[in-house]
A and B are shown apart, each in its own frame.
Chain A
Amino acid sequence: MKPITPPEESEWIEAYLNNQLNPSERAEFEAQMECDAALQEEVESRRLLHDVIDEFNLRAEIASIHAEKMAQPEWVEADWPEEEVEPGESRVSEPRVIPLPVYRPQAKPVWWRRAAAIAAAAGGLWMGYLSFAPISPHETATHITRGGQQPSSFCYTNYYAGKAYLNSRQPDKAIPCLEQVVNCEIRPYFKDASKWFLAVAYLQSGQTERAERIYGEIKQSAEFEYPIGTLDRWKMDWQLRVARMWPSS
């Protein structure tokens, strides 16, 4: 039966909205609502109030977890780049203390020895660069979506997420996304780009055989649309070779 006082009626409406009435009470409420326009209006208005209170609670919950997580050391701005500085503002950095080299008198080197040492050092640096410099996906393709074909959002979502994971050095997460894209019916450009990203991801996650297989396909493909930089190809060739020689590395 409909309660008499407004506060009691308010509780009654809330119990209905929260599914706290038993079946017969619920039937009674709905029967009353059918011919009581004021009650219908009250129910609607109460729904809105609940939505607002729930949203407030949800945001508060997120904010409190957010604050807690952001206070953890791994979140503190260690990896933020220098662009943070506002334009026009100068970055005054702490002078770096460079340790003084220890002076050791040496015999004067013969010129060809010096040349050989420089060449060896340059070669070492080059090998080091090829071995350790990351192969990262370029910021590409956002402008190549011309044309009337409309690839599914599913493929695109996985494409961009895969690329982002790769960019942030999480190849294991990139792989499942990119593997999906390779099987998508989308423009060849994106498919080819995904193959390359996938090869990089496999390489980074230590799955050398898979990386080799897909990179082999790329090399044999006559109409590969994604432009891979020459340096990146060299890095891939070299790093695959290194991974083959020392499978554990």
Chain B
Amino acid sequence: MNQLGQCSDDAIVQGILSDDRRALNTAIRCLYDRHTALLKDYVRRNSGTPQDADDLIQTVVLNFIKAVRSGQYRPQQGVGVGAFLYTLCKNHWLNTLSQRERILLRETEYYETAPHSGASMDAQLHLEEQEEMEHNLRQFDKLGERCKQLLTAQRRDGLSMKEIADLMGFENERVAINEKYKCLQKLKNLLKP
């Protein structure tokens, strides 16, 4: 397989939009192989630590996948994947810095005078929704390990309840369905505001 073709902008977007977990995995690997060196370099040049780069790269990759899935990013718009990632990276990093109250004056000015550029692309990832998702994920983490395993494995791998029963050692499919129901109820209660 041609490495570049497999990791072209179109191929990456197709992989992200695909229902196939392996295609998504390949697309994420492509993002790492082809594009994250630039993000790391950006953090390095802008007084970040390796730890900062670690956090930022994962967040940018996640936000990129969301932007593709929600249709906010389309390669046909004339911005390459690398360029879009870079914008997400820059905005996220400036947010991080401003939160740390270390932001440089000129960058503040830039953001005040030019809210249209790039920033708007990131802004669609509404802050409030993100906050809510972070909260929900923390709650999800409070579920027991077995519940987490059951729910994530089933959705991730698209397993039938019969397969889940076999995988997790439940007596039969019915028991698995009942267990899953209990887990979902537990999660629902955890997420209640």
Contact = CB atoms under 8 A, between A and B. Distances in A.
Contacts of B79: 154, 157-158
B87 to A, nearest CB: 5
B82 A173 contact: yes
B87 A145 contact: no
Contacts of A154: 77-79
30 contacts: A6-B181, A8-B177, A11-B161, A48-B136, A49-B187, A49-B191, A55-B136, A55-B137, A56-B152, A59-B58, A65-B29, A66-B54, A142-B106, A142-B107, A145-B113, A152-B116, A154-B77, A156-B114, A156-B117, A157-B83, A157-B87, A158-B78, A158-B79, A158-B80, A160-B83, A160-B118, A164-B41, A168-B42, A176-B80, A177-B82
Interface string A101-142: 000000000000000000000000000000000000000001
B188 interface: yes
A161 B90 CA distance: 10
A51 B90 CA distance: 27
Contact of B47 (A49, A65, A83): A83
A81 B80 contact: no
Interface in B104-122: 106-107, 109-110, 113-114, 116-118, 120-121
A153 B62 contact: no
Interface residues of B, number: 63
Interface of A: 6-8, 10-11, 45-46, 48-63, 65-66, 69-70, 75, 77, 79-81, 83-84, 142-143, 145-146, 150-154, 156-158, 160-162, 164-165, 167-168, 170, 173, 176-177, 180
Nearest to A146: B113
B155 A161 contact: no
A50 B102 CA distance: 38
Contact of A84 (B49, B82, B136, B152): B49
Nearest to A180: B78
B106 A143 contact: yes
A10 B118 contact: no
Interface in B135-168: 136-137, 140, 148, 151-152, 155-156, 161
A63 B62 CA distance: 10
B12 interface: no
A153 B117 contact: yes
A55 B65 CA distance: 11
